[in-house]
Amino acid sequence: MIIILKDNAQEKQIDELVEWVSGFGVKTNLVNGVHQRIIGLIGDTTRIDVESVQAKDIVEQVKRVQEPYKNANRRFHPDDTVIEVRGRKLGGGNLNVIAGPCSVECEDQILQTAIAVKEAGATMLRGGAFKPRTSPYAFQGLGKEGINLLIKAREITGLPIVTEIMDLSDLDLFADVDIVQVGARNMQNFTLLKELGNSDKPVLLKRGLSSTLQELLMSAEYIMAGGNSKVILCERGIRTFEPKTRNTLDLSAVPLLKHHSHLPVVIDPSHATGIAKLVEPMSLAAVASGCDALEIEVHNDPKNAWSDGAQSLTPEQFKETMRKIKAMSEFCGKPLDI
């Protein structure tokens, strides 16, 4: 951490500041410039709050040099984290494809879709039981019944299931879920993150609509600080001024997250674009960029879907897309985890 002092900082004030930061166990080094003086902090600054430093009278600017996260940081954990889910491996040299409908609507719909995605080569099943919807008048999900239907679909297909939690009061209902998803709108629901840190469930953590990659890693750190190291990072599009797509897929997140962290990285091209016909090219691009998994919305009848139909593939479209994803994953040396 580097602290740039104001022109008028007094010796006494500087001494006080140095004493205060020393209390965190770091060493300091004072550099006297022509217009400015700078204090460099040497040691582990993770527990020093930038804002608290910024608040000091004599501080002009504070610049962090070290990343403020440790558990999620590749610097301290050079090897890729591999998360095992019912025999499948997320994060190793394989590719996973998590497919299924936006919402679980009824038994027929989820079973038909599950069987179709399994046949097409998907390795995990997604489906929403609790749905975060912008409008209170829109379908809000089947809740507990939805989770039971997902479990039934798992029994039939053998696919591990991924579904979103919206509030920690529902946590008990997720006991038999394989991967708990935290949606973009909950990425900074810190109470929820902490509670998930106390469990040993794999957590698929989605980047917030306007969150930086560092904030995503800090939210992963919340979970990991509690002892749960099974965190999967997911880029699902960020909000920009471009109106043609629902969000803007930030694909450079893949190499960047893999550079800064050892955690697996998933791309969700369905939410990132919001347009079914963009899912295939963006999926192929994501695999080419080195992601560990894709999360793709598939519905047995998108035009009558209760949510997100416009971005859902039909089983036929998904089959064709999977054929290309499979080929691309083999070409890239990261074959499907089958």
Collapse the DSSP code of 74 into the 3-class scheme (helix H, G, I; strand E, B; otherwise coil) and give the result.
coil
Instruction: Note whether 312 binds a second copy by CB under 8 A.
Output: yes
| Between 280 and 337, CB nearer to a second copy | 280
**42 makes contact with a second copy (CB under 8 A):** yes
CA distances from 323 to 138, 280, 311 (A): 34, 10, 19
User: What is the nearest approach in angstroms of a second copy to the Cβ of residue 202?
Assistant: 19
Q: Which of residues 140-199 bind a second copy (CB under 8 A)?
A: 140, 166-169, 185-186, 188-192, 194
* Cβ atoms of 146 and 164 closer than 8 Å: no
**Which segment (89-97, 155-163, 198-206, 303-311) binds a second copy by CB under 8 A?**
303-311
> According to the binding rule CB under 8 A, does residue 12 interact with a second copy?
no
For every residue of 163-215, DSSP letters joined together read EEE--GGGGGGGTT-SEEEE-GGGTT-HHHHHHHHTS---EEEEPPTT--HHH
Place of tokens 């920690």: 168
Q: How far is the CB of 158 from a second copy (least distance, A)?
A: 29
**Residue 310, interface with a second copy (CB under 8 A)?**
yes
> CB atoms < 10 A from the CB of 1, how many?
22
Stretch that binds a second copy, among 26-34, 83-91, 105-113, 173-181 (CB under 8 A): 26-34
Q: How far apart are CA 195 and CA 251, in angstroms?
A: 30
Report the site for a second copy in 86-145 (rule: CB under 8 A).
130, 132-140
Q: Can you tell me which of 15, 55, 108, 316 binds a second copy, judged by CB under 8 A?
A: 55
- Residue 305 touches a second copy, criterion: CB under 8 A: yes
Q: Which of residues 250-289 bind a second copy (CB under 8 A)?
A: 250-252, 254-256, 259, 272-273, 277-278, 281-282, 284-289
Q: Which stretch binds a second copy (CB under 8 A): 34-42, 104-112, 120-128, 144-152?
A: 34-42
Which two structure tokens, joined as six digits, stand for 182? 């935290």
Among 49, 145, 155, 176, binds a second copy (CB under 8 A): 49
Which of these ranges, 55-63, 108-116, 120-128, 149-157, lies near a second copy under the rule CB under 8 A? Answer: 55-63
For residue 104, with 0-12 CB atoms within 10 Å meaning exposed, 13-18 middle and 19 or more buried, which class applies? Answer: buried
User: Which one of 85-93, 109-117, 147-155, 220-228 is the stretch in contact with a second copy (CB under 8 A)?
Assistant: 220-228
Which is nearest to 180 in space by CA: 195, 212, 276, 191? Answer: 195
Cβ 259 to a second copy shortest distance, Å: 8
Least Å from the CB of residue 233 to a second copy: 14
Q: Which amino acid is at 271?
A: H
Q: How far is the CB of 178 from a second copy (least distance, A)?
A: 22
31 contributes a contact to a second copy by CB under 8 A = yes
Asked if 313 is part of the footprint of a second copy (rule: CB under 8 A), the reply reads no
Q: Could you say which of 10, 15, 22, 63 contacts a second copy (CB under 8 A)?
A: 63
Let me know if 8 is exposed, middle or buried by CB neighbors in 10 A (0-12, 13-18, 19+).
Answer: exposed
C-alpha pair distances (Å), 44 with each of 25, 27, 78: 8, 9, 18
CA 106 to chain centroid, in Å, comes to: 28
Distance CA 8, CA 4 (A): 12
With a CB cutoff of 8 Å and minimum separation 6, the contacts of 237 are: 209, 245, 246, 247, 248, 249, 250, 268, 271, 272, 273
Binding window for a second copy (CB under 8 A); candidates: 29-37, 84-92, 150-158, 172-180: 29-37
